[in-house]
């Protein structure tokens, strides 16, 4: 980012000379560009693709940093972020795990810079996170907040494969009968956990569509840097697993068209890493969740989904950090067939309706986006 600032400055000057440029919108890690925008008299805006809860934590972090002397994971009581459900210190964003690290110092600096923005565009909506959004709007010194979500993909990207075989398979399944299992584009689990997950899905007796990636015992985000084939995965899956689950389970290596799968009538549940894009895609399609966070801000998202809005179940990890097959089978069956799963499904349907309403004319997100556009339009007059 720092190496590109001079090029960005030249580009902005060129655009200002030839068009009516009224604002610069940067990614939530792009705050170094604020000084460049100020230098050419452009207001800077931030696009925040994560939940309003995470943004509220970012504004609260400088205060928390002053109040607490120990590592956050060592706090006995959960942390009360303004407008949000209380979060245990061990479940905070990955960047603050070690307060002595350079990553923590960098993240703290980024959070302090957010107040310099003219406004912040958040990929969330009022009915989903009313407490966090209102807390941000009432925070002294906080920029204007524009919750414009849910902004999600509506179809396959087509960059890896069309995934048509997944949809064809789903077409043959009963409505709401399939559990979709995926840890996102970069998430994976250890070899032992992969085996337990496979045997747990088998033990549940439920239908499933599982996007499997090669396991990694060191890093849950290792598969950002590689892909797997089905032949590769045969080295890790339990012997006979594919044969025993043939017909009621479909194993797909590396990638599947998630947006299409979640919108399919046969999909009745989603075991997810709780990435925010995946969460919003679930909400707009009304698909209830099993929360299995891996890294980044996903543990915080999981707490919100399970403890606050209550649209997800959370499996229990044992003393070795594994979710064993019996626990997996139990949670899957509760979600797909149990009374608690039905109640979660009802709450998720209500959220789906609220998401649709937010984006309609006169909806909360449509109004927020219109307000932002009007502000920019007025700057051109």
Strand stretches in 98-143, DSSP E: 119-122
How far apart are the C-alpha atoms of 208 and 324, rounded to whole Å? 18
Q: Was domain 162-357 assigned CATH 2.60.120.260? A: no
Q: Which comes out higher in pLDDT, residue 100 or 230?
A: 100
User: Is the pLDDT confidence value at 292 over 70?
Assistant: yes
How far apart are the C-alpha atoms of 285 and 306, rounded to whole Å? 18
The reported pLDDT for the residue numbered 191 is: 95
Q: Are strands 267-272 and 178-182 parallel, antiparallel or unpaired?
A: parallel
Look-up: residue for tokens 């608690």?
340
Look up residue 379 and give its two tokens.
């700057």
How far apart are the C-alpha atoms of 249 and 228, rounded to whole Å? 19
Residues of the chain with CATH 3.40.50.2000: 2-147, 162-357
Distance of CA 365 to the CA centre of its chain: 19
Contact between 215 and 190 (Cβ < 8 Å) = yes
Contact between 171 and 266 (Cβ < 8 Å) = yes
Residue 333 phi, psi (nearest 5) = -70, -35
User: Is the pLDDT confidence value at 233 over 90?
Assistant: no
Q: With bands split at pLDDT 50, 70 and 90, how would you rate the model's confidence at 159?
A: very low
pTM of the model: 0.94
Look-up: residue for tokens 């942390």?
79
What would the CATH number be for the domain defined by 2-147? Answer: 3.40.50.2000
The reported pLDDT for the residue numbered 69 is: 97
The reported pLDDT for the residue numbered 219 is: 64
User: Is the pLDDT confidence value at 131 over 80?
Assistant: yes
């Amino acid at each position: 980012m720092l190496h590109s600032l001079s090029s960005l400055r030249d580009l902005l000057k060129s655009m200002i000379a030839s068009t009516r440029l009224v604002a610069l919108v940067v990614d939530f890690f792009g705050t170094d560009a604020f000084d460049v925008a100020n230098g050419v008299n452009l207001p800077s805006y931030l696009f925040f693709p994560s939940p309003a809860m995470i943004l509220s934590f970012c504004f609260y972090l400088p205060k928390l940093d002053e109040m607490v002397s120990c590592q956050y994971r060592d706090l006995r009581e959960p942390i009360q972020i303004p407008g949000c459900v209380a979060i245990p210190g061990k479940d905070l964003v990955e960047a603050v795990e070690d307060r002595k690290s350079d990553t923590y110092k960098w993240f703290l600096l980024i959070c302090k810079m957010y107040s310099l923005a003219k406004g912040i565009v958040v990929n969330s909506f009022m009915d989903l996170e009313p407490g966090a959004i209102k807390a941000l709007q009432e925070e002294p010194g906080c920029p204007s907040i524009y919750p414009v979500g849910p902004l999600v993909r509506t179809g396959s990207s087509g960059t890896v494969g069309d995934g048509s075989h997944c949809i064809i398979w789903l077409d043959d399944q009963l409505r709401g009968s399939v559990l979709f299992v995926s840890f996102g584009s970069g998430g994976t689990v250890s070899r032992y956990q992969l085996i337990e997950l496979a045997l747990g899905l088998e033990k549940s007796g439920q239908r499933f569509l599982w996007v499997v990636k090669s396991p990694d015992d060191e890093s849950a985000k290792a598969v950002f840097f590689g892909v797997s084939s089905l032949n590769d995965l045969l080295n890790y899956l339990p012997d006979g697993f594919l044969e025993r689950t043939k017909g009621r389970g479909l194993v797909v290596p590396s990638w599947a068209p998630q947006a299409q799968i979640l919108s399919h009538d046969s999909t009745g549940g989603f075991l997810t890493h709780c990435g925010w894009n995946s969460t919003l895609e679930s909400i707009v399609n009304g698909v209830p969740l099993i929360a299995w966070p891996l890294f980044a801000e996903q543990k915080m998202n999981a707490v919100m989904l399970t403890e606050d809005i209550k649209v997800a179940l959370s499996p229990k990890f044992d003393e070795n950090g594994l979710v064993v097959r019996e626990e997996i089978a139990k949670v899957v069956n509760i979600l797909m067939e149990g009374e608690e799963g039905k109640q979660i499904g009802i709450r998720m349907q209500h959220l789906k309706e609220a998401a649709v309403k937010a984006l309609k004319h006169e909806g909360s997100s449509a109004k927020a986006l219109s307000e932002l556009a009007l502000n920019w339009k007025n700057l051109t007059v």
